[in-house]
Amino acid sequence: MVTLEMSRTILTAHLDEALEQGICPICYLTSEAEYRYLDTLLYEKMNNGAIRAALARSRGFCRYHTYRLIEIGGYGTNVKLAILYKDLVHAMADEVNALKERGSQGQEAQEGCPACRIVADTERTHAHVLLASLRYEEGREAYQRSFGLCMPHFFGIYGAAPRETRAFLKEDQRARLEALADDLGEFIRKSVVKDEAFGAERDAWQRVIHQYAGTPGEMVRKPARDQHPHLTR
């Protein structure tokens, strides 16, 4: 049986790992959770009744997670997708058949995309874990050694932080952005001059994308089983 204290230890270990990845730790953790959910669905829980019921209520996955499912599944996913969606198509056909000819737009899905819910739950959980760690000097030092938060996750976590932690996050993010602006300027200068070797600023153009847009799942975790996400045999 996993106790509350064990759960906290596991979550802290996950955060420690995420802080070492060179990207926003919340982006990393949500992408890992997204990958595990979709990978487990494809390879272990295709016939899980609870998951199939959730997919029926949500009318399948959102557009992004439908194609992420294909990417993670790789070669041979075609049959699994056919199995997964067969019942959904029958249900949708019944729903369409029940529509009135005049003035009916049908009903909204009962629930949102289940993979999106996994991502949202993971964001909330690890935001709390991060904020708890930032109450301590050791946690702040580990955070300062990391990439820090992307802007979308920074604003969300900053808004939920207590005053003292807000002051730390604000000063830390300000310093990171100023350093990034300097690196971008140096990258531009050396790109124009072309007679100086690039230094630490060589990847500034990549870092600014991760900083402003975050890091999507497909850039964090590539399919491990097969690198050919085709729908054909």
Query: pLDDT tens-digit profile of 106-160?
Result: 566 677 899 999 999 999 999 999 999 999 999 999 999 999 999 999 999 999 9
Considering the chain, what percentage of its residues have pLDDT values greater than 70?
87
Residue 230 covered by a domain:
no
Q: Where is average pLDDT lowest: 20-34, 63-77, 172-186?
A: 63-77
Give a yes or no: residue 92 inside a domain.
yes
Torsion 156-2-13-166 (CA) sign: positive
Residue 65, pLDDT above cutoff 70: yes
pTM score:
0.83
Residue 232 lies in a domain: no
Domain hosting residue 68, numbered range? 4-220
Please indicate, yes or no, if residue 103 is contained in any of the structural domains: yes
Looking at the predicted structure, is the pLDDT value of residue 78 above 80? yes
Among candidates 110, 159, 167, 168, which has minimal Cα distance to 137?
A: 168
Instruction: Determine contact, residues 40/165, Cβ cutoff 8 Å.
Output: no
Give, rounded to a whole angstrom, the gap between the first and last alpha carbons of the chain.
43
Tokens encoding 1? 């049986």
When divided into structural domains, the chain yields a total of 1
226: in domain: no
Query: 16-58: per-residue pLDDT in tens?
Result: 999 999 999 999 999 999 999 999 998 888 778 888 888 888 8
Given this model, what pLDDT does residue 104 score? 57
The answer to whether residue 23 is domain-embedded is yes
Residue 231 resides in a domain: no
